[in-house]
Structures are given as C-alpha cells and as structure tokens.
Structure 1
Amino acid sequence: MNITRLTPDSAGLVSWPTPSLDRKSVVTVGVFDGMHRGHQAVIGRTVELAKKFGALSIVVLFDPRPGLVHAYAAAHDGMDPADDVRDVQALTGVDERLRIMRELGVDQVIVVHYTLAFAAKSYRFFLGQMVGKLGMRTLVLGQDAAMGKDRAGDVKAIATLSAATGVFELDIVDDRGPGHVRIPANAKPQMPAEWGEPADPLAGLNKAELRAWSKKHQAQLHRVWSSTNVRWLLSQGRVVAANEILGHRHVIEGTVVHGEERGRTIGFPTANLDEGSVVGYLPVDGVYAGWLVDMGPADTADATATDAAQSDNANNANRVASDDKARIADGSPWRWPAAISIGTKPTFSETTGLHERVVEAYAVTNDWLDLYGHRVRVEFAGFLRPQVKFEGVDELKDELGRNVKETLAITAA
C-alpha cells in the first residue's frame, strides 16, 4: 500500500499525484475516525469495485479531523490549529487507520492535511480534481457523506452531478448499521459506579420511559455505526459495546515515561504513558482489562515519521513500520495481557498532592520489562471497576490481584 501525504497551499490547492497513466481508480473520501464497521464497509466496497474493474483503490484521508479544525477556528479568530494542538476527541490516530486500510487491501492512501482554505473549495471543484488528477471512474460514499464548502456536496447533490456529467459513477454503501441510538446532546464522561462491564441504561425501557429519558437528556438520534456513538460508549466505560461497533479493539498509543514508581514497590510495576503523547480517545476513568504491546523505541518511530513526511519515495512514504503487523499480532512476543488504569490514583492522591490524570498499564508477565522511552499500544477489552479510594496498601494490593485474574480471564476468552 502506497501512502502519500499532501499539504494544501495558502489558497487551498493540492498537488495531487498521478497514481497511474493507464489505470482508472475507484476512490473514497473521508476522515474514517475509529475505522468502525461502517467505514470498513465503505472501504471494502472501494477495494471490491477496484478489483472488479481492474482499477486502483484509493482512499483520500483527511487529517486532522474537520471537526477539530472548524471548532478551533471558531474559538481562535478563524485560524487553523497548529500541528501541536492535540485532538482529544479523535478515536484513532492516522497510523491506526492506515494499518486497518492495509489489511483491507487498499492500493493507495492520500493523506491530506485538512485546512480552512482547503475546506473552502466547492465539492464540484474537489470532484473535478479527483477525476482529472486521480483518474476517478467511481466514487464510493456512505449514505450520510457530505463534502466541500459548507458540506454542500451531500449524496443527493453528488448523484445529480454524476448523472449530469457522466464522467464518474457514484456508489452508495449502507454504512449506518442496525438503526439509530439516542445520545445526550451534551454528553459528558461518566465513570460507572459498579464493578464489571456496564449495561445499556436504555435496555428494557418501554416507549414512554424511553421518551422521558430522551427528553430529560435532550437526546439526539445518531447512527449505531458512528464515531459519535463509539465515543459516547467509551465515555461511559462500555468498552465491549464500543468494540462491537468498531469491529476491533479500541486502541490508544503513547510513550512510556517515569512515573512515581509506586507500583513497583507493591509488586505491580506499570508502564506509565505520557498523557501529552497519547494518540487516541481515552475512555472514562476506571480500571480496564486489555493488552499492552511494545511498538519499539519512540525516537526511532519519530525519525521514521519525519523521513516519511518529507519524502515522496514510495518506500519511505509507507508510514506504518514494516514490523507493526508482527508486533500487534495476537500471540506475538511483544504483547502481554494488561490491567489498565486511567485516573488520578485516589488511594495516594491526598498524600502525594498529585491529582493529574494518568494512564498506566500493568503487563501480566514474569519478565522484567524495560519500556521507558518506548512507544506502546494499549488495547481495551473490558471495564473492570471504577477508580476508588482504598483504606490502605494491603487492600489495594488485594484488589489489584483480583483485577489481574479478571484480566487474564477476559483476554484468554
């Protein structure tokens, strides 16, 4: 899979590559945040049609998320966000999306740095570029897709343009999933109060109760297969339900740094992630079962990223390291079951005076792991318990022991 990164100029224009002089392309366009089942359906259809027509399958991927860019501009006098502005609402980083696209068999991904100037171009201009530069014969979109200035290029408008010009076909994929769900308009993270995976609070409600709940929370309808729904579920600790929509485990990545090293003193040494380095959506505070994967030294990965971003060479532009698949694979020697804690360490915070939110993972292994300075991948499999204050170290150690047993049971399943 070839990967090309493009940055629009000040006028919003992009120097599109020419993927092939003799083959047409089947193209899809979007952010694909989370790469959930709906996204996979759209990209899978793109690959399917490309193989059918003997064409190239191309994904035009926008990064950062348009939602971040427009929200930042609204709060900062119409300015684009700087490169160091973190998108804490993004479910996945670009690397994770690229990994899944590779598994789906995509030929080429064009990562476009989304800017306000680029967003100001009309959908007609954008699609003209896709046809003229990328050789697009078919455009594949989900049912609610929209593009171009003011999102004027919805599916209906694009279908009309396709029929009028006859230069490309439009293929619409049902990417919505099984209906719709209700999500509070101003949803906020809420840590579950009980131990174990949280249940659906709307399960079992009759129509009158459901209407009352929706009115109280000013709930809005969203597709089941949507990044918004996944984000909502993770903000409530409902990892299993989120993973079902994703079609894979929810993932974050970050760099391991030195923490208080208190876990080592009580027999549970943890890999502490630098929160500023975390890529991916952090679920609500709590203790989770999952996996920890060593992705290798962070400085090496960063150097590779820099080289890839500055080069048009196809090999260097392939951003995702060649050994990622081997490291991530189930059963790899770089992977361990892990009890994952997100929160403020309430048992010790009064003593230490430290109340910042931390992410730490205890890898269940008999080996000593020296992961400082390494990039690690944390995969979430289930919610174990809320963050609570224990009476002392012994009580905490007993609970951590139970958490480890629960983690091993969940990951073994």
Structure 2
Amino acid sequence: MKIIRLTPDATGLVAWPTLSAAKKSVVTVGVFDGMHRGHQAVVSRVVELAGKYGALSAVVLFDPRPALVHGWAKAHGGEEPGEGVADADALTDADERIRMMRAMGVDYVLVVRYTLAFAAKSYRFFLGQMVGKLGMRTLVLGQDAAMGAGRAGDVKAIRTLAEGTGVFELDVVDDRGPGYVRVPAVIEPRMPEVHGEPADPLAGLSKAELRAWSKAHNAKLTRVWSSTNVRWLLSQGRVRDAAEVLGHPHAVEGTVVHGEERGRTIGFPTANLGDEIAGYLPVDGVYAGWLVDMGPDDDGDAGELNEQSRLAAGSPWRWPAAISIGTKPTFSEKTGRHERVVEAYAVSDDWLDLYGHRVRVEFVGYLRPQIRFDGADELVAELKRNVEETKRLTAE
C-alpha cells in the first residue's frame, strides 16, 4: 500500500497526484475514526469493486477530524488547530486507521490535512478533482455520507450528479448496522460504581421511561455503527459493547515512561504510558485486556514492517494485562481536559523492560471502579483478584 500525505494551499486547493496513467480507481472519502464495522463495510466494498474492475482501490482520509477543526475555529475566533493540538475525542489516530486499511488490501491512502479553506470547496468541485486527477470511475459511500461546503453533497445530490454527468458511478453501502440508539448530545464520562461489565442503562425501560431519559440527556438517535456511539460506550466503561460496534477491541497506544514505581514495591510492576497517548481513553477504572510491545519508539520503517506479527494472537510480544486508568488533578492545555494516567500490569513470569517502547493497550472488559484502599495488603489482595479475572476474560 502507498500512503500519500497532502496539504491544501491557502485557497484550499490540493495538488492531487496521478495514481495511474492506465488504470481507473475506485474511491471512498471520509474520516473513518475508529474503523468500526460500518467503515469496514465501505472500505471492503472499495477493495471488492477495484478487484472486479481491474482498478486501483483508494481511500481519501481526512486528518485531523473535521469536528476538531470546526470546533476549534469556533472557540478560537476562526483560528485552525496547529500541529501540537491533541484531539482527545478521536477514537484512533490516522496511523491506526491506515494500519487497518493496509490489512484490508487498499492500494492507496491519500491523507489530506483538513482545513477550513479545503472545507469551503463545493462537493461538485471536489468530485471533479477526484475524476480528473485520481481517475475515479466509482465512488463508494455509506448511506449517511455528506461532503463539501455545508455538507451539501449528500448521497441524493451525489447520485443526481453521477447520473447527470455519466463520468462516474455511485455505489452506496448499508453501513448503519442494527439500526439506531439514543446517545446524549453531550457525552460526559461516568465511572461505573459497581464491579463487572456495565449494563445498558436503557435496557428494559418502558417507552415513557425512555422518553424521560432522552429528554433529561438531550439524547439523539444515532446509528449503532457510529464513532459517536463508540465514544459514548467507552465513556461509560462499556468496552465490550464498544468492541461489538468496532468488530475488534478498542485500543490506545503510547510510549512507556518511568512512573513512580510504587507497583514494583508490591509485586505488580506496571508499564506507564506517557502523556502522548493515541486513541480515545475509556472512563477511569480498572480493565482487563492486552498489552502489546510494538518495539522501540524509534524503529521507524522497521517497526512498521513487523507490526502485524506483533499484533497477531499468540505472538510473543503480547500479554494479558490488568489496566488502570486514572485522572490527575492537573489540566492539559493541549486537550483542554484533565490529564489521564494509563498503567498496564502484564501477566507474565518474565521481567519486561519496555521503557522507551511503543506499546498498544487493548480493552477486553471492565473490572471495577477506582477505589481507595486502607493499606497495601488490601490493595495487593484486590490486584490479585483483578489478575485472575483478567486471565479469565482474555482466555475467552
């Protein structure tokens, strides 16, 4: 797979490359945050049609997320977020999305830096560029897709354009999954107070109770297969339900740094992730999951080459892990939120020296809320229980 990174000029124009002088392309466009089942359905269709037509498969990937760019501009007098602004609401970074697209067999990923000037271009102009520059013969979209200035280019408008011009065809994929769910307009993390996987708060409610809950939370109908729903589930500790939408366990990545090393003194040394964490952090609590050693952080291309072998089930770089997420009282200027701490205790008989390594933390199940213990003995007993539960859940 070839990755091409493109930055629009001050007027929003992109210097699109020529992918091939001989082959047409099948293209999809979007953010694909989280690469959930709906996204996978769209990308799989791109690869399928490209194979059928003897064409190139291409994904135009917007980064950063449009929601971050427009939200930041609204809050900062029209200013766009700079390179150092972290997107705390992104489920995955662009590298993770690209990794999954590579595994799915995509030929090209064109990562376009999303800017306000680029967003101001009409969908007609944008699609004309796709046809003229990328040789697009087929555009693949999900059912609720929209693009261009004011999001005027919805599926209906694009289909009319495709049929009217005859220069490309539109293929629409059912990416909605099992219907819709109600999600609060403002997602506020809430740590479950009980042990074990949190239940769906809407399960078993009567119609009247559901209406009351929706009104109290200003809830909106949202596709089950959506990034918004995944953020909601993770913010409530419902990592198993999130995995159902994603089609895989949710994960974050970061570099292991030296912590206070208190865990080592009681026999539970943890890998502490630094401040630069890629991926959406679930609500505070203790989770069962996996810790994957992705190699030294400065491996570069060599690290990318063996990513799949390290991520594979049963690889020697992968261990069951009890994962703790907590919140510091300090406020981060990069994210506009309080700083979070991620620690993972790998269930292994060997001493793991992971300092300076990039690691991946995958969430399999919620174990318990953060608790203040009266003494070390009580804490050690609870950690032992967490380890046994982690072994059970990861063995499943």
* Superposition pairs of residues 228-239 of structure 1, within 5 angstroms: 228-239=228-239
Aligned length: 388
Q: Hey, what does 1:297 align to over in structure 2? A: 296
* Superposition pairs of residues 5-404 of structure 1, within 5 angstroms: 5-275=5-275, 277-301=276-300, 304=301, 321-344=304-327, 357-404=340-387
Shift of residue 356 of structure 1? 5.6
CA distance in 2, matches of 1:176, 1:13: 32
CA distance in 1, matches of 2:340, 2:243: 24
Contact persistence 2:26–2:140 (CA under 8 A): yes
Alpha-carbon distance change, 148 to 43 in structure 1, aligned in 2, over 3 angstroms: same
Alpha-carbon distance change, 356 to 224 in structure 1, aligned in 2, over 3 angstroms: closer
CA distance in 2, matches of 1:141, 1:344: 39
Shift of residue 145 of structure 1? 0.5
Deviating runs (4+, > 2 A) in structure 1? none
Equivalent residue of 1:23, what SS? coil
> For the aligned residues, what is the CA RMSD?
1.4
Judge which range, 6-15 or 377-386, deviates more.
6-15
Q: Hey, what does 1:310 align to over in structure 2? A: none
Percent of pairs identical after alignment?
74
TM-score (norm 1): 0.92
Judge which range, 175-184 or 229-238, deviates more.
175-184
Contact persistence 2:291–2:346 (CA under 8 A): yes
Contact persistence 2:252–2:279 (CA under 8 A): yes
Shift of residue 214 of structure 1? 1.2
Shift of residue 300 of structure 1? 3.0
Contact persistence 2:295–2:303 (CA under 8 A): no
CA distance in 1, matches of 2:41, 2:6: 25
CA distance in 2, matches of 1:320, 1:223: 36
Unaligned segments of structure 1, at least 5 residues: 305-318, 347-354
Equivalent residue of 1:299, what SS? coil
Shift of residue 103 of structure 1? 1.6
Contact persistence 1:72–1:81 (CA under 8 A): yes
Cα deviation digits, residues 196-215 of structure 1 (max 9, x gap): 00011111112122112112
The residue type equivalent to 2:114 in the other structure is Y
Q: Hey, what does 1:350 align to over in structure 2? A: none
CA distance in 1, matches of 2:136, 2:185: 38
TM-score (norm 2): 0.96
Equivalent residue of 1:203, what SS? coil
Greater helix proportion = 1
CA distance in 1, matches of 2:341, 2:134: 44
The residue type equivalent to 2:259 in the other structure is G
Shift of residue 389 of structure 1? 0.7
Equivalent residue of 2:390, what SS? helix
The residue type equivalent to 2:147 in the other structure is M
The residue type equivalent to 2:379 in the other structure is L
CA distance in 2, matches of 1:132, 1:345: 51
CA distance in 2, matches of 1:143, 1:236: 28
Q: Hey, what does 1:409 align to over in structure 2? A: 392
Contact persistence 1:95–1:320 (CA under 8 A): no
CA distance in 1, matches of 2:61, 2:186: 28
